[in-house]
Amino acid sequence: MYHNEHQNCWQFEFLFIFDGIILKNLSPSFLAPTQSWTKLGKPFHQFVNSEELPQPYWIVKNYALAQQLGLPSDWLDHNQTLEILSGNFAASSDVAQIWPIQPTASVYSGHQFGVWAGQLGDGRAMLIGEVKGGQEIQLKGAGPTPYSRRGDGRAVLRSSIREYLCSEAMHHLGIPTTRALSLVGSDLMVMRETPETAAVLARVAPSFIRFGHFEHFSFQNNHQALQTLADYVIERFYPECQLATAKQEIYSQFLSAVCHKTALMIAKWQAVGFCHGVMNTDNMSILGLTLDYGPFKMLDGFDPDLIFNHSDTNGRYTYNQQASIAFWNLHCLAEALLPLIQDIDATKNALETYREVYSQAFLHEFGAKLGLDELTVTENDRPLIHQLLRLLSEEKIDYTWFWQQLAQTLRTNNASHARDLFIHRENFDVWHALYLQRVQSLNLNNILSTMGKSNPRYILRNHLAQIAIEKAQLGDYSEINQLLEVLHNPYQTHSLYDDYARPAPAWASSIEISCSS
């Protein structure tokens, strides 16, 4: 069993000075090299060195998140912080004195596109610290690691902007996700399909442990390391599982808890039209967080079978497949944990948690989009939901825009707002009549309030991210900040940025997204 000695260490505080200005007392727990993780030992990670990023500069800083992490209010405004979050703390003697951290990269394996890929690991990511409260800071793009598989360990500006914007957008939509603390750029050129400039993203999460970490040790038949890893995760994040009387039951309850969190996350993905694009087991968080924003997409026209990641030739990771793929990935996790659970029936029962929780979460999420809160929605509403999704799919109606217009039909008692989106309006009329019959006895203000909290006006549409990227590549970061302003409050009306809420232009369909980053 992993024992957390963190509370017994570092009982004193140090005073740190940045740019000659005393900031405040900081607990060394923030500056320690992710103590809780490194105490697990060498099989789980390797100490690594970041690679210097030439002449780094700020692109965007997340002051609100820094404050939530307990960092000084002006911490992101200092040159030493820029060096730290660009990965240059080893190259700068000044920074090395105030940030005595040896980064770590973890090892994991996984199934990629349904095929066992063997050992993978943090190829372009490294942990650099753990803040008070247990949140980890990880740099993505700070150089190669032993797990880079001949890669350069760098991230490019294009994909880093997309991950920063989307992770923050998802958080403010109420969807569990990693967060973005900062984005640093450089004129350093790296080669992908074409030469691109490098960037380093600082991202934050309670843990970046994936299904693939468990698969790695299970497939190696290293059951001792597997148990050490499971005990560590359970003690830190699933302590309720420790109440089980039998050792094996602890691990089956752990699997059930992961299924529960994953089901809730996937249901929220489906409700907002988010497509991850590459749901490999090494991209699945053990905490039910949205992890690794690669070829993701927020649906414009509702096309559940749209293949938008050109690496996904068979459409394995389309919107329509996400719920079942998550279950498949959980099966892989269950197989990895079976040496600890030692009971096939208990393992199967734990997996059933996913089906049960997802079914109810789907009903509640989509019921709320229709204005039916959790006390109002019933199993009898499922056909109404599925019929509507079929209509949207048949005509590829803009998904986010439709829900806004449906609310407007109720607000104005005028069906044309939603009806005019359809070519075959008679089909909508049939559904709409059933919908009005369903809600006629309910309080209109309550319906509109529920819809307003469940249907975002603003999402990170692909073309909006592309515009921000193209401007940023020319040195103009204003579009990133404007997008963040509305994405931080996606359910409100922002009159200055009303165009951000409108359906995507025709040219948006030509944007190609790949796994390259």
What would the pLDDT profile of 455-474 be if each residue is shown by its tens digit? 999 999 999 999 999 999 99
Same domain, residue pair 287 and 233 = yes
Q: What is the pLDDT of residue 21?
A: 33
Same domain, residue pair 260 and 166 = no
pLDDT in tens, 267-325: 999 999 999 999 999 999 999 999 999 999 999 999 999 988 888 889 999 999 999 99
Residues in the chain: 517
Percent pLDDT > 70 in the chain is 91
Same domain, residue pair 352 and 213 = yes
* Helix axes 322-341 and 247-272, enclosed angle (nearest 10): 170
100 confidence band (pLDDT: 50, 70, 90)? low
Q: How far apart are CA 217 and CA 212, in angstroms?
A: 9
Same domain, residue pair 115 and 153 = yes
Percent pLDDT > 90 in the chain is 79
Position 511 in a domain: no
Same domain, residue pair 144 and 77 = yes
Q: What is the pLDDT of residue 219?
A: 97
102 confidence band (pLDDT: 50, 70, 90)? confident
Same domain, residue pair 204 and 236 = no
Residue 17 has pLDDT above 50, yes or no: no
Q: What is the pLDDT of residue 274?
A: 98
Same domain, residue pair 361 and 228 = yes
Same domain, residue pair 163 and 86 = yes
Least Cα distance to 406 among 393, 390, 397, 419 occurs for: 419
pLDDT in tens, 117-159: 999 999 999 999 888 778 999 999 999 999 998 889 999 999 9
Position 465 in a domain: no
Domain boundary among 428, 455, 482: 455
Q: What is the pLDDT of residue 288?
A: 98
Position 143 in a domain: yes
23 confidence band (pLDDT: 50, 70, 90)? very low
Position 203 in a domain: yes
C-alpha R_g of the chain: 24
90 confidence band (pLDDT: 50, 70, 90)? low
Higher pLDDT, 14 or 495: 495
Residue 32 has pLDDT above 50, yes or no: no
Of 231, 282, 300, 312, which one is the catalytic site residue? 282
Residue 101 has pLDDT above 50, yes or no: yes
42 confidence band (pLDDT: 50, 70, 90)? confident
Position 498 in a domain: no
Same domain, residue pair 156 and 268 = no
5 confidence band (pLDDT: 50, 70, 90)? very low
DSSP 4-51: --GGGS--S-EEEEETTEEEEEE-HHHHSS-HHHHTT-GGGEEE----
Residue 220 sits in which domain range? 209-455
12 confidence band (pLDDT: 50, 70, 90)? very low
Residue 27 has pLDDT above 70, yes or no: no
pLDDT in tens, 340-392: 999 999 999 999 999 999 999 999 999 999 999 999 999 999 999 999 999 99
Domain boundary among 208, 243, 273: 208
Number of structural domains found in the chain? 2
Provide the token pair at 173: 């939509």
Q: How far apart are CA 7 and CA 4, in angstroms?
A: 7
The whole-chain average pLDDT of the chain stands at: 90
Q: Which residue has the tokens 């060096």?
A: 83
Higher pLDDT, 291 or 193: 291
Residue 40 has pLDDT above 90, yes or no: no
Position 513 in a domain: no
Domain boundary among 208, 239, 262: 208
Instruction: For residue 506, count other CB atoms closer than 10 A to its CB.
Output: 8
Residue 22 has pLDDT above 60, yes or no: no
pLDDT in tens, 411-448: 999 999 999 999 999 999 999 999 999 999 999 999 99
Residue 450 has pLDDT above 90, yes or no: yes
Same domain, residue pair 190 and 319 = no
Is this model's pTM higher than 0.85 or not? yes
Position 201 in a domain: yes
Q: What is the pLDDT of residue 1?
A: 43
Residue 19 has pLDDT above 70, yes or no: no
Q: What is the pLDDT of residue 6?
A: 35
Q: Look at 79-83, 222-226, 390-394, 482-486 and tell me which has the smallest mean pLDDT.
A: 79-83
Residue 484 has pLDDT above 70, yes or no: yes
Same domain, residue pair 297 and 184 = no
Residue 233 has pLDDT above 80, yes or no: yes
Query: Does the annotation count 282 as an active-site position?
Result: yes
Dihedral sign from CA coordinates of 159, 165, 171, 174: negative
Give CA separation, 189 vs 126, 157, 311, 354, in Å.
21, 10, 24, 44
Residue 95 zone, left/alpha/beta (φ > 0; ψ -120 to 50; rest): alpha
Same domain, residue pair 10 and 153 = yes
Q: How far apart are CA 161 and CA 185, in angstroms?
A: 10
3-state secondary structure of 208: coil
Position 514 in a domain: no
The H-or-E segment that residue 338 falls in is helix 322-341
